[in-house]
Amino acid sequence: MAFTLYNAPQSTCSQRVRFVLNAKGLAFEEKKLDLLAGDQLTPEYLKLNPNGVVPTLDHDGQVVIDSSVIVEYLDEVVPERASFTPRDPVQRAKMRALMRFIDEMPAAAVRVPTFNLAFLPRFAAMSEEEFLAFAESKPLRKEFMLAMGRKGFPDAEMNKAMQRLRRTYERMDAAIAESGGPWLLGADITLADVSVMPALVRMADLGREGDWADLPRVAKWYEAIRAEAAFKPTYYPGSLLTERFPHLRKG
Ligand SMILES: N[C@@H](CCC(=O)N[C@@H](CS)C(=O)NCC(=O)O)C(=O)O
């Protein structure tokens, strides 16, 4: 069984997949793409992933795209090692509902502070023509890039993104309270936990860990996922945004 993961160290979607591969102890070849250089938009890569985004998994020549789909796929093909999917169909449905919520809310919201704080200097340095050409070449994120522009999202958009993230922490708190924790669905870690993990790591990296400090269940959850054996190899040196963009570091 050979796995190749096309991904980027700091990409939140890639981090989900690395976590599951690491937790299952599956060796994989890692192909690192530079998203700011546009490696994800080359004709060769678009043949693998027509959305022009990472991650993409190649499993013995079969290509699987989209991080949520990939982590479910991995749990299906290697269920015997570190399963992240509940056996009970009702629990499984709850997990998938949370995953949809996570993709729609925090995974989308976290792009706003990420782009505004980290990537903007790079785009601001481009000419308008260069920026428009870069935006136009993105199959999935063209409108997002054009909405951001070279000046970044306005404060109102940043505030809305932060509110969506806050509603995520509250939803997590409610899920843990209902399930009895320590994970979102109870005693066992599931793909829902893995799916939301990178958003919280990203916000903590941007100095916003305090945003869930008043929700002790979420704070405990965050410590628990950081203590998982798969966490450290997933967040190898260079995986945090502040490591690539030192201007983001506080103080
Ligand atoms: N739904 C997709 C989204 C993938 C995605 O947005 N990937 C980002 C990195 S986290 C990316 O490749 N962005 C490149 C770009 O915007 O050009 C997934 O979960 O795999």
**Judgement on whether residues 226 and 185 belong to the same structural domain of the protein:** yes
Nearest residue to 75 via CA among 21, 29, 31: 21
**Judgement on whether residues 18 and 104 belong to the same structural domain of the protein:** no
**Judgement on whether residues 190 and 150 belong to the same structural domain of the protein:** yes
Domain that holds residue 110: 89-248
**Judgement on whether residues 204 and 97 belong to the same structural domain of the protein:** yes
**Judgement on whether residues 40 and 111 belong to the same structural domain of the protein:** no
- Whether the model clears a pTM of 0.85, i.e. scores above it, the answer is yes
Residue recorded with tokens 């795209």: 65
Asked whether residue 237 is domain-assigned, the answer is: yes
**Helices 191-205 and 89-104, interaxial angle, to 10°?**
30
Asked whether residue 10 is domain-assigned, the answer is: yes
Answer whether 94 contacts ligand 1 (Cβ < 6 A).
no
Answer whether 66 contacts ligand 1 (Cβ < 6 A).
yes
What is the domain count for the chain?
A: 2
Answer whether 40 contacts ligand 1 (Cβ < 6 A).
yes
Measured from the Cα of 138, ligand 1's closest atom is: 17
Asked whether residue 9 is domain-assigned, the answer is: yes
**Judgement on whether residues 205 and 104 belong to the same structural domain of the protein:** yes
pLDDT in tens, the chain (251 residues): 899 999 999 999 999 999 999 999 999 999 999 999 999 999 999 999 999 999 999 999 999 999 999 999 999 999 999 999 999 999 999 999 999 999 999 999 999 999 998 888 889 899 999 999 999 999 999 999 999 999 999 999 999 999 999 999 999 999 999 999 999 999 999 999 999 999 999 999 999 999 999 999 999 999 999 999 999 999 999 999 999 988 887 65
For 160-210, the three-class secondary structure string (H helix, E strand, C coil) is HHHHHHHHHHHHHHHHHHHHCCCECCECCCCHHHHHHHHHHHHHHHCCCHH
88 C-alpha to center of ligand 1: Å? 31
Q: Using most ligand atoms within 8 A of CB, pick from 13, 31, 71, 197 the residue to mutate for ligand 1.
A: 13
Asked whether residue 83 is domain-assigned, the answer is: no
Residue 115 and residue 153 in contact, taking contact as beta carbons nearer than 8 Å: yes
Asked whether residue 145 is domain-assigned, the answer is: yes
Return d(Cα 247, Cα 19) in angstroms, integer: 27
**Judgement on whether residues 63 and 120 belong to the same structural domain of the protein:** no
Last residue of a domain, one of 19, 42, 77: 77
Residue 199 and residue 99 in contact, taking contact as beta carbons nearer than 8 Å: no
Last residue of a domain, one of 77, 110, 131: 77
**Judgement on whether residues 63 and 151 belong to the same structural domain of the protein:** no
**Judgement on whether residues 112 and 225 belong to the same structural domain of the protein:** yes
Q: By alpha-carbon position, which residue is closest to atom 6 of ligand 1?
A: 53
76 C-alpha to center of ligand 1: Å? 23
Asked whether residue 82 is domain-assigned, the answer is: no
Q: For residue 177, how many C-alpha atoms fall within 13 Å in the half-sphere facing its CB?
A: 8
Q: Using most ligand atoms within 8 A of CB, pick from 16, 119, 140 the residue to mutate for ligand 1.
A: 140
Give me the amino acid identity at 222: Y
Answer whether 54 contacts ligand 1 (Cβ < 6 A).
yes
**Judgement on whether residues 227 and 125 belong to the same structural domain of the protein:** yes
Gap between the terminal Cα atoms of the chain: 46
Q: By alpha-carbon position, which residue is closest to atom 20 of ligand 1?
A: 66
Last residue of a domain, one of 53, 77, 101: 77
Strand partners of residue 58: 4, 63
Cβ within 8 Å of residue 120, ≥6 positions away: 148, 150, 152
Q: For residue 197, how many C-alpha atoms fall within 13 Å in the half-sphere facing its CB?
A: 31
Q: By alpha-carbon position, which residue is closest to atom 19 of ligand 1?
A: 67
CATH code (residue 67): 3.40.30.10
**Judgement on whether residues 153 and 193 belong to the same structural domain of the protein:** yes
